[in-house]
Amino acid sequence: MLLFARRSTSGALPFYRSQVPRTNASPAYGFGSAPAKPPVTRAHSTPPLGKAPTKVPVKRDRQSGWRSTQLNAIRNNDIDWKAAVSRLQELKDSSSADLAAYNATIAVLARARQTIEALELLTDMAEHGPAPDTVSYTSAINACSKTGYWEEADNLLREMIVRGLKPDVFTFSAVVTACGRGMRWKKALDLLAEMPRAGVEPNVVTYNAAISACEKGGQWQSALKLLGQMRERGIRPNVVSYSAAISACEKGGGQWEQALLLLKDMKAHGIKPNIITYSAAISACEKGGGQWQKAVDLLREMDIRRIPQNNISFSAAISACAKGKEWKKALELFRVMSKRGIKPNVVTYSAAISACAWGGQWETAVKLLEEMFAKGIPADVATYSTTISACATGGGQWEKAIELLRQMDQRGIQPNVVTYAAAICACHKGGNWQMTLSLLSEMRDRGIQPDLVVYSSAIECLETASQIGMAMLLMREAIYRGFFAKTWGSVSTVDLHECSAAVARTIMRCLLDDLRSGQRAPRTIRIVTGKGNNSAGGQSVLPGEVRSFLKDYSGPVLSDDTQNTGCFLLEELNLKAWVTIMNLAP
């Protein structure tokens, strides 16, 4: 019995035949059935007296030829996996199925990603013969690697070692690949380190599989170390090695500088980058804070090198332009892409709409959304949220924002907290505080909890509309739910430097209200203003806003913090005096 067949942990594949669910069952799946008797041959007539009987050697030759035909059919790369299984069953029925036939069938099943069938066939070999060899196990492991069943692949590796079979570089490479696809990059690196101890030297395929495992886990530093190891072992990295390492830089937080260094290094070593390499490098520039100029330069370089572009490379470049707030360039790339016959997908449209949002081009964003539907490209919640955001930045087009929100319901797309944040922002920009409150109520009815962005935008809307009481109530709700913890979390400090002016004024009102009511003791409080998130041109906004607010509010005297120019002090004596005066007032 195979080791993996005895496993019973959750998520394990059902390797016993009785446990494997079947669809379209046919006799061809009967791997465990006893072989049928060989076909009965036709009897020859008795020869005349005096003549020796004639030998009939034709049967074996015919059977050998038939067997070769069946085996060659299984080995055909174009054969359907069900047909291959059927051919194997025919060989079994005639007692002609040997190791080569089984191995060829497992290889077909691996190519077709029929992991359960491949493992079941391996089980049948171990139980009824012929005994599986290294090729059998490697093919079964390949089946696991294609579907990401890394635990089963690793168990097969241990199984063959227990059986006295020596895994080769192809076996280890397949297991490493399985670990990568199963998002187990640490296990992949452990296997790579195990190979020399097992007397197997890794090759470029093994290293590429390990680097790809690191790429899927966003482990760019480990990927770079593996590239260095390859050179130390005298293994020349190829385009797959570099592409995977560059992709690891992209997925590891947009390490665009490292990605471009790798691209330069591979060119210096005479390795030609391909579309995958460039797409990964452009994506790294996009993820790395919108390095739009670098992304556009790489796209142009693809043209010079006559490397065909696709929607992945264009989408990443458009997204980089969007993050760099270069909406005109983003839309220009979108038009170039269409002229070249490269069909945009939902990612491309979302990137272009995001660029419109940054530029406040709400009408263009809406047109792009409509174009998606006209081309049969389904929009998702992110696409709608970005389009609604464009309505917000485009002068507070709250009516259009609400129209899009209702359209989502009609199309069966559930809005999320980001969608509502964009819609509330549109209402804030458009000065509709009533609709803001309505959206907040709608969120709660849907079971969607507001986040910091929603609270901040709604409070801004209410405060600027002079709905001070409701703004303060919403602020207290947000504080109760754990938001603004950095701002409100200390008894001696109120940190406003990440707040807008409207939110800062609301927090100061809540603070003074607590001091006056006695909920907060009148002790020295440091007010941190910094520049505030509405600062422009390097000029501080919040210090002036706080001073003006306290003056208009008849608040306590504010002192400068000599140790920090980005702070003010509400000193204890001044606070006590202010509280006394306010409590004496009618």
Residue range of the domain that includes 565: 485-584
| pLDDT tens-place string over residues 205-223 | 999 999 999 999 999 999 9
Query: Taking a C-beta distance cutoff of 8 angstroms, is the pair 281, 260 a contact?
Result: yes
Query: Taking a C-beta distance cutoff of 8 angstroms, is the pair 182, 145 a contact?
Result: no
**Residue 501 and residue 465 share a domain:** no
Query: Taking a C-beta distance cutoff of 8 angstroms, is the pair 546, 504 a contact?
Result: yes
What is residue 493's three-state secondary structure?
strand
- CB burial of 379-415 (b: ≥16 within 10 Å; e: otherwise) equals beebbbbbbbbbbbbbebbbebbbebbeebeeeebeb
Give every CB contact of residue 285 below 8 A, 6+ residues apart in sequence.
254, 256, 259, 260, 291, 292, 294, 295, 298, 316, 320
Q: What is the mean pLDDT of the chain?
A: 85
The residue behind tokens 């706080």 is 546
**Residue 496 and residue 473 share a domain:** no
Tokens for 523? 């002790």
Residue 161 lies in a domain: no
Picking from 141, 131, 249, 251, the residue whose alpha carbon sits closest to that of residue 191 is 141
The more confident residue out of 294 and 129 is 294
User: DSSP states of 206-255 as a string?
Assistant: HHHHHHHHHHHTT-HHHHHHHHHHHHHTTPPP-HHHHHHHHHHHHHTT--
Residue 540 lies in a domain: yes
Average pLDDT over residues 253-273: 93
Residue 237 lies in a domain: no
Alpha-carbon distance of 229 to 232, in angstroms, equals 5
pLDDT > 90? residue 400: yes
Average pLDDT over residues 549-577: 87
Residue 295 lies in a domain: no
**Residue 525 and residue 475 share a domain:** no
Query: Taking a C-beta distance cutoff of 8 angstroms, is the pair 222, 189 a contact?
Result: yes
What is residue 494's three-state secondary structure?
strand
**Residue 458 and residue 386 share a domain:** yes
pLDDT > 90? residue 59: no
CATH code where residue 525 lies: 3.30.1370.110
pLDDT > 90? residue 86: no
User: DSSP states of 502-568 as a string?
Assistant: HHHHHHHHHHHHHHHHTSS----EEEE-SS-TT-BTTB--HHHHHHHHHHHTT----EE-TT-TTEE
| pLDDT tens-place string over residues 184-205 | 999 999 999 999 999 999 999 9
Boundary residue ending a domain (463, 483, 503): 483
Alpha-carbon distance of 531 to 452, in angstroms, equals 20
**Residue 530 and residue 477 share a domain:** no
Residue 428 lies in a domain: yes
Report the domain count for the chain. 2
**Residue 470 and residue 533 share a domain:** no
- Looking at 149-158, 374-383, 547-556, which range is the least confident one? 547-556
- HEC secondary structure over 425-481: HHHHHCCCHHHHHHHHHHHHHHCCCCCHHHHHHHHHHHHHCCCHHHHHHHHHHHHHC
pLDDT at 5: 38
Show the beta-strand stretches assigned E in 111-201. none
Alpha-carbon distance of 234 to 227, in angstroms, equals 11
**Residue 497 and residue 579 share a domain:** yes
**Residue 412 and residue 504 share a domain:** no
pLDDT at 62: 52
Longest Cα separation, the chain: 143
Boundary residue ending a domain (419, 450, 483): 483
Boundary residue ending a domain (449, 483, 517): 483
- C-alpha 408, offset from chain centre: 24
What is residue 569's three-state secondary structure?
strand
Residue 437 lies in a domain: yes
pLDDT > 60? residue 116: yes
pLDDT at 552: 87
**Residue 494 and residue 477 share a domain:** no
**Residue 503 and residue 435 share a domain:** no
pLDDT > 90? residue 420: yes
End-to-end Cα spacing for the chain: 90
pLDDT at 41: 39
**Residue 474 and residue 496 share a domain:** no
Residue 289 lies in a domain: no
pLDDT > 70? residue 44: no
**Residue 514 and residue 437 share a domain:** no
pLDDT > 90? residue 7: no
Helices (H), 360-451: 362-374, 381-393, 398-410, 417-429, 433-446
pLDDT > 50? residue 21: no
| pLDDT tens-place string over residues 511-524 | 999 999 998 888 99
Whole-model pTM above 0.85? no
Alpha-carbon distance of 153 to 178, in angstroms, equals 7
Residue 543 lies in a domain: yes
Average pLDDT over residues 309-337: 92
Query: Taking a C-beta distance cutoff of 8 angstroms, is the pair 241, 266 a contact?
Result: no
